[in-house]
Structure 1
Amino acid sequence: MMLMVRAVLFCCTFCVAYTALQNKATFRDTLLKYYNGQQDTNIFAAAMLSCYQKGGWLVMPKDRKLNDAVAEVSHGVFAWIGGSDMFGEGNYEWIDGEDVEWSNWERTNPDNHGNNEDCINTNAGSKGLWNDWPCEFKVGYVCQIPNTKASHSEISELTVYGRQNATSYFRAKRFCQNRRSRLALPQNDDRLEKLVPGTIGSTEYWVAKSDDIGSCSTVSGYGISTTDCWKPLPFICEQVAPNTLLVSDEEPTIEIGSDFKVECTASGVPIPEVKWYRDGVYVPHQERGPGQSSFVLKNVAAEDAGMYVCRAVNKIGGEPRNMQGYSFIEVTNILE
C-alpha cells in the first residue's frame, strides 16, 4: 500500500494562520487578508499585532473603493479595521497616525455606548458600514499587506511521499502533476525547512527547481541541496491556492458610448477557475480560459458604473480556496 504522509504547511502554532485565513483579495498593489478562524478572532490590539507580524498592518480604508473591497473580502461578518479614538474621545485616527477624514459610519454611530467604544469595526452585511465597539471584543480582522511581503505559507498544502515511493526527479514531478499538484517549490520564507525537522528529518526529498541538466534540488534536515536527478528519492508534492491575481485596470474611467475590456488572470495549482461578478451575479459575455477571464462592455452606459469582482477558485486538499480582485468602473460623459 502506498505510504503517504500528509502535512498542512505550518504545523502546530503555524497551522492556525492557514486555517484562519478565510478569504483574500488584491487591490492597489496590496493583499487584503481576512482572518476569522476559531483561534484567530482577536481583540483590537491583538489583531493589530497579528497583521504586523504578517508583514503588514490592520487595514485602513481611507476611501470608498478600498472600503468596498474590504467589505467584499470580509463577506458579511464584523471585522476590525485600523482606526480608533482611544487617544482622544471623538478624535478618530488611523493606526499610522493620520486623522480619519473619509468615513462610512452607520447612521447611529459612533455613539460611544457605555463610554467604552473606542475601536472601529466594519460589517460587510451592512455595505461595509462602520461601528464603534469596545476594543476588548473579539472578532475577525482584515490585514493589508504589501504584495512584496506576501507569505506563500498560507496558500499551499504539502503532501510528503515517503521511502516506499522513491523515484527519480522527473518521475516524481510527473507523479505530482497527475494529482493536480506540483513538486514543492522552495520559497523565501523557508517553509520547507520549517517542515523538515518534525516530518522528514535527515532524509533527502525531491523538491522543484533544477539547477542544471545534471543535478536537481532536494530538501532535508540540512536544508536545500542538489544531487543526481536519476537518484531514487522520496518527494514532496504541493497544491497552491489562487494567488498573484492581476486585474488589467482596477479604477478605469470610461466615456459613455465607448467599448471597454477588463482582464483578470490568476495563478495556482491546480489552475484556478476565474469568473467575473457584479452584485453577486455572473457578468455575461465573458471570454474565459485557464486561469483567466475577461469581459467587454459595449456602448457603455451610466448604469454600467460600479464594482466588478473577479473571483479565482480552485481546490486545495479537497477544500475550495479563492482570491478576489476588483475593477471599480466610473463612467463619464465627455462633452465636445
Structure 2
Amino acid sequence: MGPCMSDGNRRTMTMAPRITLVTPSYNQAQYLEATAQSIVEQDYPNLEWMIVDGGSTDGSVEIIRKYEGHLAWWVSEKDKGQTDALNKGLRRATGDLFAFLNSDDLYTPGTLHAVGEAFASDPSLTMLLGRCQYITADGSPMDECLYAGDLSIEDFIAYNLVPQPSLFLRLDVCRAVGEFDNGMQYAFDHDYWLRAMLLGHRIRGMDRLLSLYRLHEASKTVTERYKQDLDIVAAHRKAMRSLPVQDPLRQALQRNSARFCRRVAIEHYAWTRNPSIALRFFRQMLALDPTVCDMRMLKVAIKAALRIPAPLPNLPGRA
C-alpha cells in the first residue's frame, strides 16, 4: 500500500490544471538531460509530458528512455522539423494548458505550480507570460530578457517581447488557433501567438522568473537572427492579409510592423554590422508605413547605403 495522502494534497492533485508539455528534440543530448531534470523536479501533480525526437543519433534516445516513467508519450523518428514535432504533440494533447520547452532550455523551480495556480485562480486568463533569463552553453547566468508585463497586440508586433519558454496558454486556445505553421521555420512561435491574439486573446504578464533560455553556437548566429526577423515580418503580413483592408486593427498591425522593421534595421546595422540587412528592413519599413521613419533611421539608412560601417562596440579595454 502506498503512503497515505492528506486531504490537502488530494485537493491539490484534483484542482491542479492538467498541463500538456511538449519537448521537441534533435541531437541535443548534451543539454537534454538538464532540460528533463528541470521538468521532473517541478514535481507537478497533473503533467502530461511528451518528448518528440526527430531521429537523433547522438545518444538522445538513451536519455529519453531514462525518463520514460515520467512521460505520457515519446517518439524518435525523422520529421519535418520543430513545427512538425510540436504538431505531433499538440494532436495528442489532453491537458487544460499547453506549453513547449526546447531540449536545451530549462524551467526554474516551482514554475509549473505557479503557472497552474495562476490559471486555476482566474478563468479569464488564456495566455500567460513570465520572465526569462538567458544562460550560456554551460549554464552560467546572463542578462534577463526584457520583461514587458501585459502585452497588447500592437506592442507584441512592434517589439517581439515574448521569450517562448515562459509562455503558457489554454489548450482551448490552441484548438481554436490550429496547428503550428510548417512554413514558418524561424518564427513559428511568434506566428502562433499572433494568431491567438487575432482571436481576441491577450498576453497577461507574471512577474516571476519561469525559464532559462540557453544561448549556444547553434542558437545565436547572425544568419539565424536575420532569418527569424524575416519570418516575423512574414507572420505580420500573413496576419494583415487575414483582415479587411479598412479594419483599424489591420492598419494598427501595419504601422507596428513598420516600427518592428525600423528597430531591427538599426539593430542589424549596429550589432551585426551588416548594411545590406539593415537596408532590407529599411525598405520593408517604407513599404509598410514610411511615416514611422525617424532621423535615427534615416541616418542609419544613408550610412548603410554608403557602406559606412557601424562603430565597433565600446568594449572593456578598448581605447
Instruction: Decide: shared fold, TM above 0.5.
Output: no
Larger relative strand fraction: 1
Rg comparison, structure with higher value: 1
Instruction: Using structure 1 for the length normalisation, give the TM-score.
Output: 0.24
Instruction: Using structure 2 for the length normalisation, give the TM-score.
Output: 0.25
Larger relative helix fraction: 2
